[in-house]
Structures are given as C-alpha cells and as structure tokens.
Structure 1
Amino acid sequence: MTSPASSGGPSPLRIGGLALIGIGIIAGVVGLATYATGGGGSGSDQQAAPPPLSTQVSITPEPSAPAVPQATATPAASAPAAPPPAAPAPTSVATVPVPSFTPTPTSAPGGDASSSQAGAGSGGTSRTGAVRAPVRVYNNSTITGLAARAAADFRNAGWQVEEVGNYPSGIIPTSTVYYRPGTSEQQAAQALADQFSLRVEPRFSGLDEASPGLIVIATNDYQGR
C-alpha cells in the first residue's frame, strides 16, 4: 500500500485544530464582553427591581369616642315644712292651784327717796295725786333677774318696792298686778298697770293671806317702760 506523499504545506488536521482554537478564543472574548456589559447574567444573579411606591396613603379614620351621657340634675326633694309648735294653752289665773304662797325673797331695798313712802297695809298719794301702794315683785318667767329689773323700773317711776323674789307656785300667763278687792289698792294697781302695760286682776285664792299692798308677778312678756 502506497502512503501519500508529504508536501511542504500544513496538514488539514492542523488547520481544523487552529480554527477551533480561534473560535474558542472569540467565544471567550464575546462572553467576557457580554458579562462586562451585564447582558448575559442569569435570573438568579439579577436583583429584582423594587416595586413602585404607592403615592396614595390609606387613612383609616379614628373611631369617635362614645358620647358621655350628661348627668341630669334631679332637684332635691324639698323637706316638708315643720308644723309650727302649738301654742301652750293659756292657764286661767283663777284655776292656778296655790295652796300656800311662799315667795322667795331676793333682798330688795326700799323705794326711791323721792317717792311717797307708804307702810305695809297702807296706801299713799304721789305728788301728782295718783294713789300709790307698796309693791312686791315676783318672777314667774324663764328670764333670770326679771323681777329685779321690773322692781328697778317701778322705783325709777316713784313706786315703793318692798320685796323682790320668785313665784314658783304656778304659771301666770301674762305679767299682772294684783290688788285686794274693796280697797284703794285697785286704783293704785290701775295706775301702775297703765305705766307698765300690765294686766290688772284682784287677788286670787292663795294670795289672799299675803301682806297688804300690790303684788306684781312678771312673766316673759314683761317689757318695762
């Protein structure tokens, strides 16, 4: 068998190998260029573009606070008016039980020196002509010292006051001057009553045995002059 004669030029196999090498080099260059320009990366290497920001802001309205119920003022019930206290029934002077009258003296001095002096049991006449009589003053009130105040008023008016004390034997409804019926004491009692707005009454049972003269029993309504 005869082998082909060798010539001086390159063989076809060598030329093919060089061509393949050249193609590989060109492919590598193209790959590098593509990688450098970012055109040939895989999907895993590329970062996902951020989603566009929404320009609309969703506003959730704040729930309104529940309305606070306003307290309704309830007018306070007015307390029922207390009934006025019943006035004490007036005590009849004639029915006051006074079996024995023992006044409590408080050592009253005698009458004014300028007044007409009259002894116990005897009447007198003042310089103005009014009949006078000795006076005994007793307190039948809740006011301490009322008899002493009344006695001072009588003395300043020219009356002779012989005794000042308390009357504890009953309740007298109003300030009263008492006299002995059938004597000049009634006129004197009326004169004293007119000066000091006193009631005039004859002596009742229990005062009959008292010494002669006018007896004034002062109560809470005594006002003086």
Structure 2
Amino acid sequence: MTSPESASPSRPAKAAGFALLGVAAVALVIGVVSLFSGGSDTPPSAEGSSTPPPATSAAESSPTESSATESSAAPTTESSAPPATTSAAQPPASSAAVALPPVTQPGAPKEPVRVYNNSTIGGLAGKASDEVKANGWTVAGTGNYSQGIIPTTTVYYRPGTAEEASAKELAALLRARVEPRFDGIESSAPGIILIVTNDYQGVSKNK
C-alpha cells in the first residue's frame, strides 16, 4: 500500500496538466475562429472598389483618335497637290508630233506658155501674156501666128504629157478652147501654146 504522503504530490501535477490542456484547447479554438474570420474580413476598399485603369489605357485609345484625325486630314493634303499623272498644262506628245500636211496649190503644175496673136487686134498677144503671168504661169515668148486662121482662142498641148492638165487649167481661166497640138505647131518647143483671136475674153472674173 502507498502511503498518504506519496500520493499528495501527484495531485498538483495532474491539475497543472489539465490546465495546460484547457489553455491549448482554447488557443486552438481561437486560432480556428481567427483563421475563418480573417478570410471573410477583407478590407472594403479591396472588395468594393475596382482598380482604376492605368494611365496607359488612355494612351492606348489615343492612337485610334489620332489615326482618325490623320485619315480625315489625309484627303486635304492629297487634294492640295495635283496628280502626278495628269498634264493639263501640256498637250500630249503624240498631238505635238503630228505634222500638218504640206500645202499644195490646186490644179496641175504650170507649164511654160508661148502666146501667139492670130487676130486683127494689135498687141493682143502682149495683153494676154500679162494676164497669164499675173496668174502664175511663166511666159516663154510672144509673137504672131500667120500660117492659118484659128477660129477661136485656143490653148494647145502635147498629148500624153503634163501639159494637158496645165493647158486645161489655163483654158478654164481664159474661157478658151483646149485641144491637142495640130500639125502646124507639132514641132514647136515644149510647153503650152496659146493662140489668141478676136474673141479673146481675158481672165474669167469667177476664177
């Protein structure tokens, strides 16, 4: 059997152990409570307010506005300068290179003319010669034709030569007849022969 003196010291030890266990249990409860209450007790500023956008967000929207400004201003800049491809002040090179056709005198080339008087009017060959020269023909000589009677003022030419077209033009100007050369003047020098008679009318006023 155990004596009463040996059992008494164990009681305070047991009481101290129970006290420590109680303190530990209380501390555990407080810790658990504080753990759960700390997760829900977030500061109002952190829960209710949203973080304002950074200053760069305004800068990020500004390029859109500036690009719109640039796009609206771009047509003004482009319209102020004339297009590079148009040349309103200068004619096309092809039109400048077009050459005008050479100016040609109407009618056939004018062959030299010899004028002979077969009339009773003195100086008629000279008068006719002056009118022929005044209209662009070259008079190669004048004289009298006395080897026959020519019925009317006539311009003669050599068939098959350029004299024919020129003789027809001169005859129309002088309102005279035009015919090929006859035997009496066949061997004369080349050129047109004009034989004037009393019916010579001179240059037509309707030329």
TM superposition score category, shorter chain reference: 0.3 to 0.5
- Considering fraction of residues, name the structure with more helix: 2
Structure 1 length as normaliser, TM-score? Answer: 0.43
